[in-house]
Structure 1
Amino acid sequence: MRIGAQFVALACAWGSSFLFIKVALDGLTPAQVVWGRLVLGALALCAVMAVTRSRIPRDPGLWLRLSVVSVLLCVVPFLLFSWAEQHLDSGMASILNATTPLLTLAVSTAALADERLDRRRTTGLLAGFAGVLVLIGPAGLTGGSGHLLAQLACLGATACYGVALVYLRRFITPRGLPAVSVAFVQVSIGAVIMLAATPWLAGPAPRVDAPIALSMLALGGLSTGLAYLWNNNIVQAWGAVNASAVTYLTPVVGVTAGVLLLGERLSWNQPLGAALIIAGIMAAHGTPRPVAAPEAEREKERVPG
């Protein structure tokens, strides 16, 4: 698959993941959704590893660091988003997910010596977080405590992404490991964690019909498994800044899918809040530009779905 096609597929996979979660919650608990998502994602990446004959890293220290990444990049945020979508529309969750680059910038500024806030980044952060306030705004404050807590859970998930991506850049990226091997290990560790928790996740008994089964296959195989591979291929081919442009498309896909396929209502503050968040990302990180030389820029934030 060409890189341009992978970019479109990635935007669709991550943007529609919130639709798949919403459908799966009709018969599964949030924890059961995450269990299936990680197990199916690990199986998909295992197949890719076999086809490409990639090697599994053997360094125990690396496995320990990737375990931290797995918890922060997969297990905890997936659980938070799945729980939140019991109270939120899938479109709203996809917009809140787009705050990942802003929260990653905030974390990197505090944790990395070579990251400093300047006027452009400060303006971007303020615009992005103003967008979050617009999203929470009257609907969030009047929708009951469950609605507000669900929105805060989504922001907690993106904060986990931010910490994990900075941790990846600091401890994993410098090793120059194959992207598929790193993705396979971190998703597999998450799957093992959920498998170990199976006795506590068994009840209530899951109800799986055709739409739920298809949603889980797509959520695990596409949005969790292949999406990681596509993302890393795009970063290698186009550069991290260009790859980060997928952030602009995922909430569009998520909101459109929710409105067209689930009949979700689009309130005035959702497009306004999304526009402010995307404007903040563009101001803080810059707009994508052609890659004229091998990747020499800092690792930018990538937004899992």
Structure 2
Amino acid sequence: MPLASTLRMAALALFWGSGFLWIKLALSHGLTPAQITIARCALGSAVLLVLARRAAQRLPRSWTTWRRLVVAAFFCNALPFALFAVGEQHLDSGLAGVLNATTPLWSLLIGMTFGGERITHPVRLTGLGLGFAGTVLIFAPWHHGGLLSPPALALLAAAASYAVAFAYMARHLTTKEAPLAMSAAQLLTATGLSALALPAAGPLHPDATALLAVTALGVLGTGVTFYLNYRLIADEGPTSAATVGYLLPVVSVTLGATLLDEHIGPRVLAGMTVVLVAVAMTRTGGRAAARPLTADGRGAAADRVTASVRETAAAGCGATAGGGASLPVPAPPQPGGRRLRSR
């Protein structure tokens, strides 16, 4: 892999994985979950609008597209961004990164339940079951000191919300043109949705640390990450880009431990390892079958790109959450997530 792509991958993992750290810092220094969500969406959309303008891409003009963006923005941005902030009010940023890693498992489960996806590969089926077993290990409901609590469930719900969004966007928002503009439009929509919570957002008392943290979250963790993922997919392909998702929990746990003195116990680390192994297993033999060209000229290669981009976004977001921007889905060469994507 060229040095430029390697550096892009490293920056992407750092910016995406650090999103949980920025959320925790912003919460600890005067911002509420609603305020963080609004600022994150607004700053991320501003970055993508600038990038879209530089690429001569225009915002969508179809009302149908904007209506669909409302659904995507709610489940992929406004809701999970808020849930991650709510959960991190009481739990460590490292744990948030670990639970975010369950998103691909939710995506697979939703595809099986509602999307008509049939999974016959035994390794994928085993991986799905193993992944949720790892999640149970993290929560340890049988243990007095387990993590089964409303804040932890909020973090898990955020990961599941990303999966709902990916399924919806794959069906209704795939596009081969203007991925940067489509992603900017989605985050603009998310900004408007999040602003509806302003009356309940609470007083605004941030200090300099909070302002710097939320700026890093919106600019680097939401806007710039999409562009980096977009370039990585265009240059190296979706498979290389997807590997970044496996680094996010490691980055979030490491940053939380070194900068915030968070302690992730052996049980949670073991659960994280099981989940990541399970996610790798669920990618085995998935959507690899060749397909003939469709009417619009897309064939097996394009389908694999779209599928892999969806999985990349799921693994990271976030855009996703950390990762967060995960937005509309383009065909090659495309966005990360973007689909934006971003966690």
TM-score, normalised on structure 2? 0.80
1:85-123 Cα shifts (integer Å, max 9, x gaps): 011100011000001111111111223335434311111
Spell out the pairing of 1:70-85 with structure 2 (5 A cutoff): 70-85=73-88
**Partners in 2 of 1:240 and 1:69 — Cα distance?**
22
Q: CA contact under 8 A between 1:39 and 1:220: conserved in structure 2? A: yes
The residue that corresponds to 1:265 in the other structure is: 263
**Change over 3 Å in CA distance of 1:2–1:295 after alignment to 2:** farther
- The structure whose RCO (Cα within 8 Å, separation 6+) is larger is 1
Q: CA contact under 8 A between 1:128 and 1:276: conserved in structure 2? A: yes
Unaligned runs of 5+ in 1: none
Spell out the pairing of 1:74-223 with structure 2 (5 A cutoff): 74-137=77-140, 141-143=143-145, 148-173=149-174, 175-201=175-201, 203=202, 205-223=203-221
**Partners in 2 of 1:237 and 1:270 — Cα distance?**
35
Runs of 4+ in 1 over 6 A off after TM superposition: none
**Partners in 1 of 2:220 and 2:127 — Cα distance?**
31
**Change over 3 Å in CA distance of 1:84–1:141 after alignment to 2:** farther
Deviation at 1:18, TM superposition (A): 0.4
Q: CA contact under 8 A between 2:121 and 2:285: conserved in structure 1? A: no
The residue that corresponds to 1:226 in the other structure is: 224
1:4-45 Cα shifts (integer Å, max 9, x gaps): 322222211111100000000021111111111111111111
The residue that corresponds to 2:280 in the other structure is: 282
**Partners in 1 of 2:196 and 2:151 — Cα distance?**
26
The residue that corresponds to 1:15 in the other structure is: 17
1:152-207 Cα shifts (integer Å, max 9, x gaps): 1111111111111111111112x313221121011110112223432332x2x222
**Change over 3 Å in CA distance of 1:115–1:144 after alignment to 2:** closer
RMSD of the TM alignment (CA)? 2.2
- Counterpart of 2:42 (choices 21, 39, 43) is 39
**Partners in 1 of 2:182 and 2:120 — Cα distance?**
30
Deviation at 1:212, TM superposition (A): 1.1
- Counterpart of 1:2 (choices 4, 27, 32) is 4
Q: CA contact under 8 A between 2:49 and 2:181: conserved in structure 1? A: no
Q: CA contact under 8 A between 1:239 and 1:295: conserved in structure 2? A: no
Q: CA contact under 8 A between 2:34 and 2:197: conserved in structure 1? A: no
1:34-63 Cα shifts (integer Å, max 9, x gaps): 111111111111221222222111111111
1:236-283 Cα shifts (integer Å, max 9, x gaps): 333333322112100010000000000111211121111100100111
Unaligned runs of 5+ in 2: 287-299, 323-343
Deviation at 1:141, TM superposition (A): 4.9
Paired-residue identity, %: 35
Are 1:59 and 2:62 matched, yes or no? yes
Q: Give the aligned residue type for 2:263.
A: R
Q: CA contact under 8 A between 2:17 and 2:247: conserved in structure 1? A: yes
**Partners in 2 of 1:240 and 1:127 — Cα distance?**
25
**Change over 3 Å in CA distance of 1:238–1:19 after alignment to 2:** same
- Counterpart of 1:299 (choices 296, 307, 316) is 307
**Change over 3 Å in CA distance of 1:141–1:220 after alignment to 2:** farther
**Change over 3 Å in CA distance of 1:154–1:117 after alignment to 2:** farther
Greater share of helix residues, 1 or 2?
1
The residue that corresponds to 1:235 in the other structure is: 233
The residue that corresponds to 2:335 in the other structure is: none
Deviation at 1:129, TM superposition (A): 1.0
**Partners in 2 of 1:227 and 1:126 — Cα distance?**
31
Q: CA contact under 8 A between 1:34 and 1:75: conserved in structure 2? A: yes
Q: Give the aligned residue type for 1:180.
A: L
**Partners in 2 of 1:80 and 1:287 — Cα distance?**
33
Q: For residue 60 of structure 2, give the secondary structure of its aligned residue in structure 1.
A: coil
TM-score, normalised on structure 1? 0.90
Aligned length: 296
**Change over 3 Å in CA distance of 1:158–1:206 after alignment to 2:** same
**Partners in 2 of 1:158 and 1:184 — Cα distance?**
21
Q: CA contact under 8 A between 1:99 and 1:158: conserved in structure 2? A: yes
Deviation at 1:214, TM superposition (A): 1.0
Q: For residue 58 of structure 1, give the secondary structure of its aligned residue in structure 2.
A: coil
**Change over 3 Å in CA distance of 1:151–1:51 after alignment to 2:** same
Q: CA contact under 8 A between 1:240 and 1:295: conserved in structure 2? A: no
**Partners in 2 of 1:72 and 1:169 — Cα distance?**
13
